[in-house]
Amino acid sequence: MVTRLLIITAFSVMLALAARADLAFTPKESEYDMEGMKLKQLAFSDGNGKTITYQQPPGWKYSGNANSLILQPPNTGDAEGTITRVTLPQPGTFDEETMKKLTEEALASVPKPSSNVTLVSQANSPVRIGGKETFLVIVSYTFNKENYERSTMFLNRGNDQVRFQFVSRAAEFNELQRAFLGSQFTWQNL
């Protein structure tokens, strides 16, 4: 009897996990009306029937799939924005311990073999998206004799963490990062 109960419980848990709807970054273009002007935006499904929208920076190309949205600024070969989702074991918070762990993770995420890996800055909630807090880490490093900077901004939404990452050559970083970060204000229903 106990074995049967365990099997039923395990099966129920598997069904619940399979039924869980996840945010998918497969973009679909949509339009909205702003005081008579037709503007384009990207639309995504959260798996629960809710539409999430976002406007990429003007002129930036995009591609995506269920796992990530890739953004590329015009006229740059070594710059890219990536937005991904990571499942957390429990709803996330930005307490001191978590921010330290995320900073270490951002530092460790630079391509191998990089040198001169340096923490440039950390910022708690530089952007609020849908009232949700964020945490931003910027690192610099040298890779193949070129200097780069990379930002990673984390946003918790329940048991999901959305990661907004941007990387470019250091000389272009501030201007391109400003456009990438500024576009994060356009998220709706995230």
Alpha-carbon distances of 37 from 1, 28, 31, 40, 185, rounded to whole Å: 65, 19, 10, 10, 20
Q: What is the mean pLDDT of each run of 10 residues along the chain (190 residues)?
A: 40 37 86 84 88 94 95 91 94 94 96 96 93 96 97 94 97 97 94
Write down the pLDDT at residue 21: 55
Write down the pLDDT at residue 9: 38
Alpha-carbon distances of 108 from 28, 41, 105, 137, 139, rounded to whole Å: 33, 33, 5, 12, 10
Q: Which residues contact 33 (CB under 8 A, 6 or more apart)?
A: 39
Q: How far apart are CA 72 and CA 59, in angstroms?
A: 9
Write down the pLDDT at residue 56: 95
Q: How far apart are CA 58 and CA 180, in angstroms?
A: 10
Write down the pLDDT at residue 13: 36
Write down the pLDDT at residue 80: 97
Write down the pLDDT at residue 32: 83
